[in-house]
């Protein structure tokens, strides 16, 4: 009898993980568990600090608190399963579980991207159009920007998962990655994926590049405006409000562009896993430190939160 190759007959995949070396499983588990806990605690502190200090109830910190919440969800979609697989012999994930993980990974990653763009727009309005700032970045507009970001991101994720669900898989069900990402799953398919690759690349360009170009345009305008400020102190003050955001943008988009804006033929298991760790685990972990260490308002908010906890 002829063996069925369609995805409907695929009950599970095997996630190869970061390394197949048994001696590295326990050290990797300890490292990534520590990073995950730091991510959760750090981003929760950012959220609580912003909520507890009324002076941080501004558009910039509204987007930052939502970015921290998305980062918590983002890492939770990936890291707990990865930690479980590091201690497991099977390392299996069901077909449905794989698609669900892919859906939330794409939705939350894209929401992060749009929130970074919203924060860039906030800085643009604050520096270049301060007299119209309150009207442009009103609570209603900020909420609409957040809802728009979530809606577009989830529609994109739904479209991607529906596309992947129509692929056929043959003998190998081993995903050479630590979670269900698009490129390694496409590599397993025995279907003709050329059209899928074109669709994935096109809609990725539309969804990822649009906020990235928005950020570039915003900072180009900001740089032009700041260079017109006569005093060096004024220039430094304006740039200092953008430094933390630019650092996060560079970390996030640098690794995302490296992983996703290349043909499937150039996909490298080792290099792509390292780059993916950067934006799925490292960047969410570093965000609280980046936004708090050089930010006087956040330091004040964290001290206020600490004092409340001690009381």
CATH number, domain of 109, equals 1.20.1070.10
> In this structure, is residue 147 part of a structural domain?
yes
3-state DSSP of the chain:
CCCCCEHHHCCEEEECCCCCCHHHHHHHHHHHHHHHHHHHHHHHHHHHHHHHCHHHCCHHHHHHHHHHHHHHHHHHHHHHHHHHHHCCCCCEEEHHHHHHHHHHHHHHHHHHHHHHHHHHHHHHHHHHCHHHHHHHCCHHHHHHHHHHHHHHHHHHHHHHHHHHHCCEECCCCEECCCCCCHHHHHHHECCCCHHHHHHHHHHHHHHHHHHHHHHHHHHHHHHHHHHCCCCHHHHHHHHHCCHHHHHHHHHHHHHHHHHHCCCHHHCCHHHHHHHHHHHHHHHHHHHHHHHHHCCHHHHHHHHHHHHHHHC
For the ranges 70-74, 100-104, 159-163, 299-303, the lowest mean pLDDT is seen at 299-303
What does the pLDDT average to over 134-148?
94
Kindly indicate the confidence band of residue 263, based on its pLDDT and cuts at 50, 70 and 90: low
What does the pLDDT average to over 293-299?
76
What does the pLDDT average to over 180-206?
78
Kindly indicate the confidence band of residue 97, based on its pLDDT and cuts at 50, 70 and 90: very high
> In this structure, is residue 51 part of a structural domain?
yes
| Per-residue model confidence (pLDDT) at position 4 | 43
> In this structure, is residue 80 part of a structural domain?
yes
| Per-residue model confidence (pLDDT) at position 7 | 45
Kindly indicate the confidence band of residue 35, based on its pLDDT and cuts at 50, 70 and 90: very high
- Please give the residue range of the domain that contains residue 300: 20-310
Q: Is-above-0.85 flag for pTM?
A: yes
| Per-residue model confidence (pLDDT) at position 2 | 40
> In this structure, is residue 144 part of a structural domain?
yes
Residue 279 in contact with residue 28, Cβ under 8 Å?
A: no
> In this structure, is residue 304 part of a structural domain?
yes
> In this structure, is residue 12 part of a structural domain?
no
| Per-residue model confidence (pLDDT) at position 270 | 67
What does the pLDDT average to over 258-286?
78
Element at 93 (helix H, strand E) = strand 92-94
Domain count, the chain: 1
> In this structure, is residue 158 part of a structural domain?
yes
What does the pLDDT average to over 205-230?
87
> In this structure, is residue 157 part of a structural domain?
yes
């Amino acid at each position: 009898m002829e063996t069925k190759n369609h995805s409907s007959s695929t009950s599970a995949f095997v996630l190869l993980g970061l390394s197949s070396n048994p001696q590295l499983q326990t050290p990797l588990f300890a490292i990534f568990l520590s990073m995950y806990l730091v991510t959760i605690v750090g981003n929760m502190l950012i959220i609580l600090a912003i909520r507890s200090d009324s002076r941080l109830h501004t558009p910039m910190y509204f987007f930052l608190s939502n970015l921290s919440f998305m980062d918590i969800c983002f890492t939770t979609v990936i890291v707990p399963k990865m930690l479980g697989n590091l201690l497991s012999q099977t390392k299996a994930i069901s077909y449905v579980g794989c698609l669900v993980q892919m859906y939330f990974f794409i939705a939350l990653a894209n929401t992060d991207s749009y929130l970074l763009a919203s924060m860039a727009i906030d800085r643009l309005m604050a520096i270049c159009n301060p007299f119209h700032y309150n009207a442009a970045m009103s609570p209603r507009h900020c909420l609409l920007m957040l809802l728009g970001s979530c809606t577009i991101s989830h529609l994109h994720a739904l479209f991607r998962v529906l596309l992947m669900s129509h692929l056929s898989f043959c003998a190998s069900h081993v995903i050479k990655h630590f979670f269900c990402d698009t490129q390694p799953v496409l590599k397993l398919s025995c279907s003709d994926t050329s059209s899928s690759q074109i669709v994935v690349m096109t809609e990725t360009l539309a969804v990822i590049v649009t906020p990235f170009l928005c950020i570039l345009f915003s900072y180009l305008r900001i740089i032009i405006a700041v260079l017109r400020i006569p005093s060096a102190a004024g220039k430094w003050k304006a740039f200092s409000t953008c430094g933390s955001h630019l650092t996060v943008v560079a970390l996030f988009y640098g690794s995302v562009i490296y992983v996703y804006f290349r043909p499937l033929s150039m996909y490298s298991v080792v290099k792509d896993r390292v780059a993916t760790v950067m934006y799925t685990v490292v960047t969410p972990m570093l965000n609280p430190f980046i936004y708090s260490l050089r930010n006087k308002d956040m330091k004040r908010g964290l001290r206020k939160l600490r004092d409340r906890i001690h009381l």
